[in-house]
Amino acid sequence: MTGLRRRARPTGGRWRLAIALLVLAASLAALASALPRARQAWDDHRLDRSLRERLAQRMPARGPTLPCREAGAPAPLVLLVLGQSNAGNHGEPVAGGPQAVTVGPADGCQRGADPLPGATGRGSSPWPLLAQQLEAALGRPVRLSILAVDATRVEDWTRAGSPLRSALAEQAALLHRLGLRPDLVLWQQGEADARQGTPPALYLARLRELDAQLARLGVDAPRLAARSTVCRSAPDAGLQQALAQLQREAPRRWPAGPDTDARVPLAWRHDGCHWGRQALAPVASAWRDAVLAALAR
């Protein structure tokens, strides 16, 4: 064919170059895909290390071990208390406060005052006051099983492989081993997610994950969740609305807990975040009212 030039066939060298470029492109694509997973794995590793360190800082059991059930006494009201620092011992220290009977973290029960075993912090909490008020109102002994770690998000409680998720499973197993079934779960958390800016829809989804996780652990007690988003900040309306939506959808499973955002002004928080001395009694009373209302359902 005159006037037309026949297209040259690639030589062996050109074929090898083309194949090498294809392999390089595939490798770069695989690397680009793997980098986010690697970064997530590294972030999870750092979070897990921090959680393990904070879990190790929880107050240990102190004093002699007591029977968790008293002979001849009514069955105890068992409260599983979960959350971050305001569920723990991070309140302003108060000397000579009331005592409470706590379950674990070692086998058995112990009677003592703040700071309570199972929680981080070396200060006070509203739980001994709550136990005292409930015992007076119900005529039943109260047993507190506490797992509270400062600065924890809901994701830290639910993420696969999280040390905190494992600690919650151990807590549930301990209660089962001692023959104690939680009557209510008290959830005091939200400040960490508010500070991080967790979207309300994601916060709601993670609360549902926590609900499912507790169910898998055999904890079917109603979950009372406080509105607890203030930490040197205004309340987080989005997280409050997410929690309110869950409580509307499942009012028996998630009855309303206390609104500690509204109940405790910044002036009553000794560092702008944690309970000051004047906040302990109002918080305990708010929880008492929520517990009594849930038990009356």
Residue 246 has pLDDT above 80, yes or no: yes
Boundaries of every domain in the chain: 52-295
Q: Work out the average pLDDT over 145-155.
A: 98
Q: Work out the average pLDDT over 153-170.
A: 97
Distance separating alpha carbons of residues 28 and 20, to the nearest angstrom: 12
Distance separating alpha carbons of residues 230 and 261, to the nearest angstrom: 6
Residue 8 has pLDDT above 60, yes or no: no
Distance separating alpha carbons of residues 279 and 269, to the nearest angstrom: 7
Residue 291 has pLDDT above 50, yes or no: yes
For residues 257, 145, 75, 219, the Cα torsion angle rounded to the nearest 10 degrees is 70
Nearest to 267 by CA among 259, 276, 258: 276
The answer to whether 158 and 206 have CB atoms below 8 angstroms apart is yes
Positive or negative torsion for Cα 53, 54, 59, 60: negative
Q: Work out the average pLDDT over 169-197.
A: 97
Other CB atoms within a 10 A radius of the CB of residue 77 amount to 19
pLDDT of residue 233: 96
Positive or negative torsion for Cα 42, 43, 48, 54: positive
Indicate the pLDDT class of residue 2, thresholds 50, 70 and 90. Answer: very low
pLDDT in tens, 62-78: 888 999 998 888 999 99
Q: Phi then psi for 142, rounded to 5 degrees?
A: -120, 135
CATH architecture of residue range(s) 52-295: 3-Layer(aba) Sandwich (3.40)
Residue 1 has pLDDT above 50, yes or no: no
- Residues paired with 78 in a beta bridge: 143
Within its chain, how far is the Cα of 220 from the centroid?
17
Between residues 41 and 56, which one has the greater pLDDT? 56
**Three-class SS of residue 75?**
coil
